[in-house]
Amino acid sequence: MTYLFGLMPVVVLVSFLITWGLRKYAIAHSVIDVPGARSSHTVPTPRGGGVAIVITFLAILPMFAMAGAVSKPLMWAVLGSGAGIALLGFLDDHGHIAARWRLIAHFVAAAWALFWLGGLPPLALFDYPLHLGWLGHALAAMYLVWMLNLYNFMDGIDGIASVEAVCVCIGAVCLYLIAGRTEMIGVPLLLACAVIGFLIWNFPPAKIFMGDAGSSFIGIVVGILSLEAAWMVPHALWTWLILLGVFIVDATFTLLRRLLRKEKFYEAHRSHAYQYASRRYGKHLPVTLGVAAINLGWLLPIALLVGTSALRAEVGVVVAYVPLIVLAVIYRAGAEEIAE
């Protein structure tokens, strides 16, 4: 696996250069995100840079598979679902696709991934293997659709979606290395490096935005990786849910509060906790760095304890999420914007 680490600087460079090219293209063709009433930014900024992540990742992934660093089923699951979701996001970035058609496409992509993964694996719940059958497959499809959408919802300030992806994927790599499962590090390592190349341009203050193509792509890929990990190691799904805690808690808490007010969940808004926090501090950088600090200083250590069986998985999720829920309340996740 040493050659994988040697290839990573090349992946970062390729992603960096493609992002640079996309930024020039966006400026030349006026593919610009102009601030509006629902925006969290104040300066017109090129968008669509997440395509660099998609191109870099999908171009190199088959090479990993040919070298035996990625299983063929995982490769096809990610290639088909990831490319389809990225294309859908790209088209939506450059026009508009009705929410119902997007949702149908999301479930088709989830079904494709689950076909190659073998559906939802038996879940380890209090040391008891839980086999859910077809109900489990349906829940897994809903999980993948929620993951890609929540990632899209959470891509609202400079660098936050990129930092989250890098922290989560590097955290997963650490878990796999400690567990001696080196055959599982290829895809998360590749995704982390593809995102780092883009993050150089996206770090606050962002010179280009990710766009739906990039955020939705990352969301479904990390969802697929978490399910694939559960097939390999029964409690691994819980460690992924811990690593993704910041995004899961903020997006889910916000969605539930908006649904209780009977608001349309697919309409643009600025009521996530991270958006309220960025307005409170007057800039994006403290919030993005705060997310990184929570990921590395709180969630990763808990995930490592669970991954090494020093802490029960179910207890680890509760311990990880309780402070995140408190932060969601403090920063008014899902609160009506007119109340600000």
> How many Å apart are CA 248 and CA 134, to the nearest integer?
24
CA 23 remoteness from chain centre: 22
Please report the beta strands in 47-176, taking only residues with DSSP state E, as ranges in sequence order: 123-125, 128-130
- Span 275-283, average pLDDT: 93
Tokens of 222: 């990390």
Q: How much of the chain exceeds pLDDT 70, in percent?
A: 96
Name the nearest CA neighbour of 22 among 64, 58, 50, 1. 50
175 in Cβ contact with 304 (< 8 Å): yes
- Span 245-267, average pLDDT: 90
The amino acid occupying position 52 is: A
pLDDT of residue 30: 83
pLDDT 10s digits, 228-252: 998 888 788 999 999 999 999 999 9
The amino acid occupying position 306 is: V
Domain extents in the chain: 2-339
Residue 119: count of CB within 10 angstroms of its CB:
19
> How many Å apart are CA 14 and CA 273, to the nearest integer?
33
pLDDT 10s digits, 74-97: 999 999 999 999 999 888 877 778
Q: How much of the chain exceeds pLDDT 90, in percent?
A: 71
Confidence band for 339, pLDDT divided at 50, 70 and 90: very low
Confidence band for 3, pLDDT divided at 50, 70 and 90: low
- Span 106-119, average pLDDT: 96
- Span 170-183, average pLDDT: 92
pTM as predicted = 0.94
At a CB cut-off of 8 Å and minimum separation 6, what does 332 contact? 271, 273, 276, 340
